Chain A
Amino acid sequence: MTAAPSAAAEAAAAGQPLADRRTLARLRRIGVKRSRRGRQARLLSASSRTVMWAGLLLGLCVYAAFGLAPAVLNVLFSFTSYSLYPGAPVSWAGLQNYTTMFTSELPGVEPALVATAVFVVAVTVLQNVIALAVAHRLVGDSRWNGFLRLLVFLPIVLGVTIVGSIWLIIFNPTQSPAASLWGLFGANSAFFGSDSLAMPLVIGVQVWQNIGFTAFVFIGALKAINPDIYQAAALDGVSRWTRLRRITWPLLAPAVTVNVLLAVVGSATLYSLIYVLTSGDHGTMTLGMLSFNEAFTNADLGFGAALATMLFAITLIVAVPLMVYLRGRERRLLA
C-alpha cells in the first residue's frame, strides 16, 4: 500500500538517485518496453535464463507454501474437526465450528469480541496520540534527541518476550516498584493477575512496545514538511496553534492513515505480547489469543482456525472502510 513509495524514498535517502523513472515510463508508453524486454532477455545466455527462472520459482514456491497457503488453508481447516493430536481422525465439520461460535455453546467468544474491541480501540488511540507527541518532540536532529530516539526504538528491538518480562518484573505483585507505589496508598493488587488491572496494563505495555514505529512514521512525515511554509506563516503572524492545526495536521494526514491502519490491524491480529503477559487470563482473552488457546491448549485446531478466520474477516470489515475513510480524509485535508 504505502510501502513501495517509501521504499523508493529509502533508496533516495541512501544516496542512490532513482533511475529516471519518468523517462522509462515514457519510453514504455511509446512502445519501447517490449523491445527492451525482448532484447534484455535475449542477451541472457540460455543457462543464465534457466538459473534466473530457477531462483525466481524457488523463491515464489517458498512464499506460496509458507505465506499464501497458510492464509488459504486457514479457511479450509475452519470447516474441519482437525485435532492437535497426531493420528486423530479428521473429518469435515461443515459449518459446525461457526455455529458453535455463534450459539455460544462454548463460552468465551462473546467476551473475546469485547476484549478485542477494547484492546484495539485503546491501543490505536493511545499509540497514535502519544506517538504524535513524541514525534513532535523528537523531530529535531540534536544529539540528545538522537539518544532519545534510540531509547524509544529499543523495545522494538528487544521484542515481546523481553519487553513482557521487564514489565512482569516491574508489576510483580509482592516486591516491585508497582507494589511499593500501591503500598504508599495502603493498597495492593495482583496487577497482571487482577481482573480489573490486567487489561489496562496489557494495553499499556503494547503501546510502550510499539510507540517507536508509530512515532518514527510521524517523524518522517514531519521532516518532509517544507520549512518555508512555516516561515511564511510566521511572517504572516500566524499563531503557533493555528500553524499546528492548519499546516502540520493536514500534511500529516497520510502518516495518520498508515499509523492508524497499522495499529488497528496489528493490535487486532497479534497476541504474542498477551501470551507472554497473561496467556489471555483475567479479561485479556482477545480473539487472536482465544484462537491460539483453542488450537494449542484445547487441541481443537479446527475451531481455532474458525476463530482466526472470523478475526481475519472482522479485521477486513473494519480496516477496509477505515482505509477508504482515511484516504478520503487525506484528500479533504490536503485539497
Chain B
Amino acid sequence: MTTIAGARHAGRAPRSQLLARLVTGAVIAVVFLLPVLYVLMIAFETDSHYASNPMVPPSSLHLQNFSAAWTQGDIGRQLVNTVLYAVVASAVATALALLIAYPLARRLVRGHNLVYGLVAVGLFLPFSIIPLFIEARSLHLFNNTPGYIILHIEPGMPLGVILLTAFITAVPGELDEAAWVDGVSYLKYMSRVIVPLTRPALLITFLYGMLGVWNDIIGPVALLGPTSTNLFPITRGIYNFYSGYQNNYPVFAAAVILASLPLVAVFAGTQRQLIRAAIAGSVKG
C-alpha cells in the first residue's frame, strides 16, 4: 500500500517540477554568484578596455591591477593589522567565554542563573558606538593597537558563553570530581579535559567572533584616528580606497578581490561548522 502510493507520489513529480527546481536553482546561483564573478572579471581588465566595454570579458588577463591595488591601497599592512585584531580579540573572547561558562554550567557560584541571563542579554543589546568611543578616549584605548583589540573582545562573548554553557552541561560532572580528587589544577583541567570536549563550540565562538572583528567598519571609523593609516584594518582601507580611486574601477575591483581572498579561504576551510551553526539557529544575523 505504502509503496504503491509512495511510488505514485514519486511518479507524480513530473518533468515540469524538475524543470522548476532547475530554474530556481539557476536563479539562486546567478543572483549570488554573478555579482562576485563580475567584480572578478573587471579586476583583470585594463582601464581602457573597461572604459569602452565594461560588459565584455578581457581577451588577456591584466594582472597589473592587483599590484597597483596592493601598493596604492597598502593592502598588505592592512591585512596584517586585520588578522592581528581579529585573531587576538576573538581568541581572548573565546577564552574568557570559557572561563565564564564553566562555573555557570557547573553551578559553582551563587546566582549563576542571573549571571547567565545578564551575559545572554548581550546578544540583543545594540552596538553602542558613542559611549564606547567616549570610554575608549578616557581609558586611552582610542587610536592604538591594544586598545582597538580590547574594545573588540566583548562582542564575541555572549554567543560563546551560551554555546559553551550548553556544551559543558553535556560533560559528565564525574569527570571533574575524579580530576579534582587527584589534585589536578583548574587551568590544567580546563585545557586538558574541557577544551577538547567542547572544541566544536570553541571553534564556532572563535570563528564568528573573528568574522565580526574582521568585517567591522563602524569600529575602524570611530575608534581609530583619521590619519592613523598604519593602524587601519582592511575594511577601512577598502572604504577609503573607494573614495580615493572612484575613477579607476578595475584597480578598485582588484583591491576588493584581494581583501576577499583571506575570507574566502577561511570560509573554504570552515564552511561545514559555520553553516551547521547557522542552520542550528545558534548565531544571529
On A, residues with C-beta under 8 Å from B are 1-4, 6-11, 13-14, 16-19, 21, 33, 36-37, 39-41, 43-45, 47-49, 51-52, 55-56, 58-60, 62-63, 65-71, 73-74, 76-77, 82, 86, 133-134, 137-138, 144-145, 148-162, 165-170, 172, 175-177, 179-180, 208, 210, 212-214, 216-217, 219-221, 223, 231, 234-235, 255, 258, 262-263, 265-266, 269-272, 275-276, 291-292, 295-296, 301, 304-305, 308, 311-312, 315
Contact = CB atoms under 8 A, between A and B. Distances in A.
A148 B28 contact: yes
B201 A134 contact: no
Given A154-B267, A157-B263, A265-B124, A223 B279 contact: yes
B38 A213 contact: no
Given A44-B186, A169-B39, A175-B50, A6 B99 contact: no
B229 interface: no
A213 B106 CA distance: 31
Contacts of A145: 25
B88 to A, nearest CB: 14
Contact of B242 (A8, A168, A219): A168
Contacts of A149: 275
Given A66-B151, A213-B284, A152 B108 contact: no
A77 B133 CA distance: 12
Sort A-B residue pairs by CB-CB distance and give the 7 closest, nearest first: A159-B215, A55-B99, A213-B285, A73-B131, A59-B96, A48-B186, A66-B154
B169 A18 contact: yes
A52 B106 CA distance: 12
Given A43-B177, A43-B181, A159-B263, A167 B279 contact: no
Interface string B159-193: 10011011101111100110011010111000000
B62 interface: no
A137 B21 contact: yes
24 contacts: A11-B167, A18-B169, A19-B170, A36-B173, A41-B108, A43-B176, A62-B157, A66-B151, A67-B122, A67-B154, A67-B155, A67-B157, A137-B21, A151-B28, A151-B32, A153-B275, A156-B278, A157-B266, A159-B211, A166-B39, A169-B249, A169-B256, A217-B279, A292-B222
Nearest to A149: B275
A213 B278 contact: yes
B215 A13 contact: no
Contact of A266 (B96, B153, B172, B285): B285
A73 B134 contact: yes
B180 A48 contact: yes
Interface residues of B, number: 117
Determine chain B's interface SS by DSSP, over half rule: helix
Contacts of B259: 161-162
Contacts of A312: 126
B85 interface: no
B276 A10 contact: yes
B217 interface: yes
A147 B12 CA distance: 27
A167 B253 CA distance: 11
Contacts of A134: 28
A51 B33 contact: no
Contacts, number: 338
Contacts of B218: 271-272, 275, 292
A18 B197 CA distance: 12
Contacts of A6: 280-282
A145 B275 CA distance: 13
Interface in B66-118: 96-97, 99-100, 102-103, 106-109, 115, 118
B279 A219 contact: yes
B29 A73 contact: no
B190 to A, nearest CB: 8
Nearest to A312: B126
Contacts of A55: 96, 99-100, 186
A63 B122 contact: yes
B63 interface: no
Nearest to B132: A70
Contacts of A169: 38-39, 42, 249, 252-253, 256
A262 B285 CA distance: 7
Nearest to B211: A157
A212 B38 contact: no
A162 B40 CA distance: 13
Contacts of A271: 218
